Amino acid sequence: MNSAIKQITVIGSGVMGSQMAMVSALAGFEVFLQDINEESLGEAKESLQGHMNKRIQKGKLTSQKVEEAFSNLHFVTSLETALNQTDFVIEAIVEKLDVKRQLFAEVDQLAPAHAIIATNSSTIVSSKLADATNRPDKVCNLHFFNPVLVMELVEVVKGPHTSEETAAAAFGLAKQMNKTPILLKKEISGFVANRILGKLIDEAVYLLENEIASVEEIDLACTKALNHPIGPFALLDLTGIDVNYYIRQVLYEETGDESQKPQKVLTEKFLNGEFGRKTGKGFYSYST
CA–CA distance from 41 to each of 18, 20, 49 (Å)?
A: 8, 14, 12
Is 194 assigned a catalytic role?
Answer: yes
- Alpha-carbon span 150 to 1, nearest angstrom: 21
Is 37 assigned a catalytic role?
Answer: no
CA atoms within 13 A of residue 100's CA, in its CB half-sphere = 26
Q: How many residues are recorded in the chain?
A: 288
Is 143 assigned a catalytic role?
Answer: yes
Give DSSP secondary structure letters for 61-95.
S-HHHHHHHHHHEEEES-HHHHHTT-SEEEE---S
Is 122 assigned a catalytic role?
Answer: yes
Q: Which of 24, 126, 189, 194 is catalytic?
A: 194
Contact between residue 143 and residue 116 where contact means Cβ atoms under 8 Å apart: no
Q: Is the peptide bond before 181 cis (omega within 30 degrees of 0)?
A: no
Q: Which of 24, 121, 122, 244 is catalytic?
A: 122
- Alpha-carbon span 94 to 269, nearest angstrom: 18
Q: Which of 91, 95, 155, 187 is catalytic?
A: 155
CA atoms within 13 A of residue 98's CA, in its CB half-sphere = 0
Helices (H), ranges, the chain: 15-26, 38-57, 63-72, 79-83, 97-110, 164-176, 193-209, 215-220, 232-239, 241-255, 264-271
CA–CA distance from 188 to each of 115, 155, 158, 225, 283 (Å)?
A: 24, 12, 10, 30, 29
- Alpha-carbon span 239 to 52, nearest angstrom: 20
Q: Which of 143, 161, 187, 189 is catalytic?
A: 143
Active site residues: 122, 143, 155, 194
